[in-house]
Structure 1
Amino acid sequence: MTLVKFNPEKKNSALLPGFNDIFESVLGDTYFSDRRISSLPAVNISESSEEYQIELAAPGLKKEDFKVSVEGETLTVSTEQRSENSVAEKNYNRREFSYSSFTRVFTLPESADVDRILASYCDGVLKLTLPKKEEAKAVSRQIAIS
């Protein structure tokens, strides 16, 4: 008996072998994959004894482009940009549209104080500081050994 490994990623049609490979080679190209990845900014999340900090890398934007909101236990960061360029020369008319947007949603821990969240945007990085509630802050004390 021979065992054949099943690969769910590779779905070839018996009638058109290699047909899906053509699309995979085009859509899997680095140009397309880079465009898909770049639509969502990278995020760093850190925690200290006093606060949580979220850093979102979004170069080329202005602080007015961001919309930051808190609803219940979720923090939402989003942006939307639209631009339109129009050039009319001789008998040619060209219009180019550009549209980009993203939305990141974070579930907030119960220990975060949502009333004191601070946001700043500097050098292409949006920094969100979420202070911890007083009762959630870690209390440290020295324990004597007897």
Structure 2
Amino acid sequence: MTSQPPAKQFTANVQRSATDVFGPIQREFNRLFDQLGSGWTAFTELDLIPRLDMRETEDAIEVTMELPGISEQDVKIAIEDDVLTISGEKKSESESKKGDVRVSERTYGAFSRSISLPRGVDAEKIKASMAKGVLTITAPRDGAAAAKTIPIVAAK
């Protein structure tokens, strides 16, 4: 006959074994999250992607894009094959401050957004303006590609 160890002793061995196996993994996760918590500024170094809205009216397509801190001279607008591309660069400001602690959360760098325009936009008449950090682009329609209803004829 074989004797079995008491249930308490078996449970203690399993708990000790799990701690031995998963302890190093738990320490690595703790270290990872500790570093991640203090390193959120690394995520701000990602590409600068300005937000935009695109609105369609009867006469035109209107695009507005948020570009705070960027001057008109640092923005380029181009159109090729019915694709409107807005690109530019937000340049960093050089500051010299004395002290041990400094936090910088603002993003700098180049950006580019491309938008497919619908047919019927007159590329020669596109206009752009910028006020209070918002770029507004108006692309008027030429009327050539107006919507048309096609009647269905019964087959013979």
TM norm structure 2: 0.58
CA–CA separation in structure 1 for the residues paired with 2:117 and 2:41: 33
CA–CA separation in structure 2 for the residues paired with 1:70 and 1:62: 20
The equivalent residue for 1:114 is 123
CA–CA separation in structure 2 for the residues paired with 1:71 and 1:24: 46
CA–CA separation in structure 1 for the residues paired with 2:44 and 2:53: 21
CA contact (8 A) 1:27 1:33 kept: no
- Residues 39/81 of structure 1: CA separation in 2 closer, same or farther (3 Å cut): closer
Q: Alignment identity in percent?
A: 27
- Aligned-partner residue type, residue 87 of structure 2: S
Kindly indicate whether residue 89 of structure 2 is the aligned counterpart of residue 64 of structure 1: no
CA–CA separation in structure 2 for the residues paired with 1:28 and 1:86: 26
- Residues 105/138 of structure 1: CA separation in 2 closer, same or farther (3 Å cut): same
The equivalent residue for 1:85 is 94
TM norm structure 1: 0.61
SS of 2:121 mapped into structure 1: coil
Larger proportion of strand = 1
- Residues 83/30 of structure 1: CA separation in 2 closer, same or farther (3 Å cut): closer
Mapping of 1:1-146 within 5 angstroms? Answer: 16=25, 19=28, 23=32, 26-27=35-36, 31-32=40-41, 35=44, 39-83=48-92, 85=94, 99-137=108-146
Larger proportion of helix = 2
Deviations along 1:56-89, whole A, 9 cap, x unmatched? Answer: 01111111110111122211111124446385x9
- Aligned-partner residue type, residue 145 of structure 2: A
- Aligned-partner residue type, residue 72 of structure 1: D
- Residues 112/29 of structure 1: CA separation in 2 closer, same or farther (3 Å cut): farther
Give runs of ≥4 in structure 1 deviating > 3 Å: 15-34, 81-87, 136-139
- Say how many residue pairs are matched: 119
Larger Rg: 2
Structure 1 residue 120, shift from structure 2 partner? 0.4
RMSD over aligned CA atoms reads 3.8
CA contact (8 A) 1:49 1:138 kept: no
